[in-house]
Amino acid sequence: MFSSFSLINYDAYEPYISSYTMNMHYNNYKEYLENLNKLLNNYDGQYAKEELVKNINIFPITERDNILFNLGGVLNHELFFKILGNGQISDELNNKIVNDFKSFDNFKQEFIKTANLLTGSGYTFLVLNNENNLEIINVANQDTPYSYGLRPIMNLDLWEHAYYLDYQNDRSTYINNFFSIINFDEVSKIYAQEIQKNL
């Protein structure tokens, strides 16, 4: 059984994301978690969630898609909720962003541009690739970058449930506003952890 990520302050992201949306979104995440735990009923829990993605072939082929969908739903939402908030970027991550994207502003513009290109439901991710360089990618539905050997650093939920009640069809304003509620202190910590792995 995987335990739930706790999100207490639903109103902490106002006015960019309403408390109503956050409350509903958190309940949506918990449905993914409940589904995952049901599907993993006989699983003995030797892998962490991200390791389970890479070892999905331990499950019967007929169950893999469903497990992966819910596992991705849990991982993607836990990262998204974790990196929302307020916090300063570390020098280490800022220097890496400047190195890989030429400037922080270029990184921001590229992230926004990529997010606007996503069609259907999915996420925009900042990831670390095998060369330990940063990339911005889109994934569909509940795909997780771990499936592609990429390490997620931050993400933006672009499913309609994440913004439609607050922004209706104006997804681009939601995407722009995301940059006002990123906890870059948390993103920097995730980057610092991930850069140590797979070297």
User: Least CB distance from residue 137 to Fe ion, whole Å?
Assistant: 17
User: Least CB distance from residue 198 to Fe ion, whole Å?
Assistant: 27
Question: Which ranges constitute the DSSP H helices of the chain?
Answer: 19-39, 49-54, 61-83, 91-101, 104-117, 164-167, 171-178, 184-194
Closer to Fe ion by CB, 143 or 157: give it: 157
User: Least CB distance from residue 188 to Fe ion, whole Å?
Assistant: 23
User: Least CB distance from residue 194 to Fe ion, whole Å?
Assistant: 22
Closer to Fe ion by CB, 72 or 96: give it: 72
Cβ–Cβ < 8 Å for 87, 181? no
From residue 45 to residue 64, the character string flagging contacts with Fe ion as x (rule: CB under 5 A) and all else as - is: --------------------
Is residue 191 close enough to count as binding Fe ion by CB under 5 A? no
* Of residues 22, 8, 69, the one with CA closest to residue 163: 22
Please give the Cα distance from 136 to 141 (Å, whole number): 16
Closer to Fe ion by CB, 112 or 162: give it: 162
Residue nearest to Fe ion (CB): 157
Please give the Cα distance from 132 to 96 (Å, whole number): 10
Please give the Cα distance from 111 to 105 (Å, whole number): 10
User: Least CB distance from residue 160 to Fe ion, whole Å?
Assistant: 9
Report the site for Fe ion in 146-185 (rule: CB under 5 A).
157, 159, 162
Backbone angles phi, psi at 2, to 5 degrees: -95, 135
Residues that contact Fe ion, how many (by CB under 5 A)? 3
Give the 3-state secondary structure of residue 157.
strand
The partner residues of 126 in beta bridges, in order of sequence, read 136, 154
User: Least CB distance from residue 192 to Fe ion, whole Å?
Assistant: 26
Closer to Fe ion by CB, 162 or 190: give it: 162
Closer to Fe ion by CB, 100 or 186: give it: 186
Closer to Fe ion by CB, 93 or 162: give it: 162
Q: How far is CA 108 from CA 11, 19, 94, 114, 195, in A?
A: 25, 25, 12, 10, 21
Q: Name the site residues for Fe ion (rule: CB under 5 A).
A: 157, 159, 162
